[in-house]
Every structure is written in C-alpha cells, then in structure tokens.
C-alpha cells in the first residue's frame, strides 16, 4: 500500500507537471482547433450517439474547449446539463436551454470557471432515471487505464460515486488535451475512474 504522504506528493507533482505541459501545449498549438477535433471524435462516438442526457462542462483557461461538444448536444436534441458549485466540495448539474444562446446562460463561478446562471433547473438523479446518461469528465490528467487526477477538491469523485449508486448504467468518459494523458495516475479507492478517454 502506498503511504498517504507519498500518494499526495505524487498527485501534487503530477498537477504541477500538467500545468506546465498544458501551458506549453496551448502556447505552441491552436488549442481551439485541437479541442474542436477531439470534441468531434466524441460526438461521433457510440457513447454520445446513445446518450439521452449529456453532463458536460465548460473548460477553464488550461482545459480543453468544449464549445463543439456542448453546441452539438443541444442541436441534436439531447438534454445538456453543466456543473455548478453549490457548496464546499459539492456540485450539481443545471439543465441549459437549447433555445437561448449558451453564452447567455453562463457566468463566472467558482475558481473563475464559467457555470450555469442561477435559475436554471437542477438535474436531479430522479431526472436521470430510465435515461441513457453520458458524463463527460474534465481532469488535470488521465491515465490510459481510465485513472484520473482532478484539481484535488473531489467534486467529480463524489458526484460519480453517488451517480453510480443511483444510475449504475451511466457512462463516464474523460475529455482532455493530448498532453494531459499519461500511462497511469496515482489513485486511491476514493478516486473514480472513467471508462475511456477522448484526447
């Protein structure tokens, strides 16, 4: 068993390494074009095609851009929900409208990342029942084996754990830039892996 201090140190070092790698990647590449290509692969996938509901995100400054994914979900008639931080370590997903520009439904939220504005409907676990659900998960780094390193707040680990109890058939996939993929990420029993990674 890996000592807790060594495990934490390993994740901290990985986050630092990934911040540097993403900064270099973004400075040397057209991040918008790369992001669009990756998102197009996702929206062409079996996972996306079979989904009734897509739980996506809006990428931060050093994350993949998700515009193509989110707009395609809306234009193809799927329910699109985006995360909003509502408490210490707690987030919920809010459903956005396909009839209002997405930019008008977002505002700067926790950690300076765009989130759904107040007033949009909360997507409860009951609202997911009987639906094909695809969760598109951001991360600082992903392992080729599905392991994931987030920002260390545990938002997605908590949400995905609860989702798996309520909706066992829900699928979670990682979405990231190519420079964010490593062989494996240090993980603990509390870290929830994804079933695949698009990069």
Residues of the binding site for substrate: 58, 63
Q: In terms of DSSP H, where are the helices of 44-176?
A: 46-49, 67-75, 155-166
Q: What share of the chain is helix, strand, coil (3-state, %, to 5)?
A: 40, 25, 40
Enumerate the known binding-site residues: 11-15, 58, 63, 148-156
H or E element at residue 40: helix 31-43
Element (H, E) at 31: helix 31-43
Alpha-carbon span 29 to 41, nearest angstrom: 19
Residue positions forming the annotated binding site for ATP: 11-15, 148-156
Count of H-run helices and E-run strands, the chain: 5, 11
Q: Is 194 helix (H, G, I), strand (E, B) or coil?
A: coil
> How many angstroms separate the Cα of 37 from the Cα of each of 40, 41, 82, 129, 180?
5, 6, 21, 31, 16
């Amino acid at each position: 068993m890996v000592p807790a201090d060594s495990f934490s140190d390993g994740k901290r070092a990985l986050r630092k390494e990934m911040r540097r790698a993403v900064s270099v990647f973004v400075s040397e590449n057209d991040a918008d074009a790369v992001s669009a290509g990756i998102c197009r692969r996702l929206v062409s996938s079996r996972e996306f095609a079979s989904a009734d509901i897509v739980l996506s995100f809006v990428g931060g400054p050093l994350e993949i851009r998700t515009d193509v994914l989110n707009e395609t979900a809306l234009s193809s008639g799927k329910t699109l929900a985006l995360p909003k931080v509502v408490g210490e370590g707690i987030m919920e997903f809010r459903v956005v409208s396909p009839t209002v520009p997405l930019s008008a439904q977002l505002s700067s939220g926790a950690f300076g990342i765009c989130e759904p504005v107040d007033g949009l409907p909360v997507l409860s676990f009951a609202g997911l029942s009987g639906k094909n659900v695809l969760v598109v998960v951001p991360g600082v780094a992903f392992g080729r084996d599905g392991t994931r390193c987030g920002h260390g707040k545990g938002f997605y680990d908590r949400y995905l754990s609860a989702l798996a109890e309520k909706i066992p058939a829900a699928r979670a996939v990682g979405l990231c830039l190519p420079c964010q993929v490593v062989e494996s990420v240090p993980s603990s029993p509390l870290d929830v892996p994804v079933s695949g990674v698009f990069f």
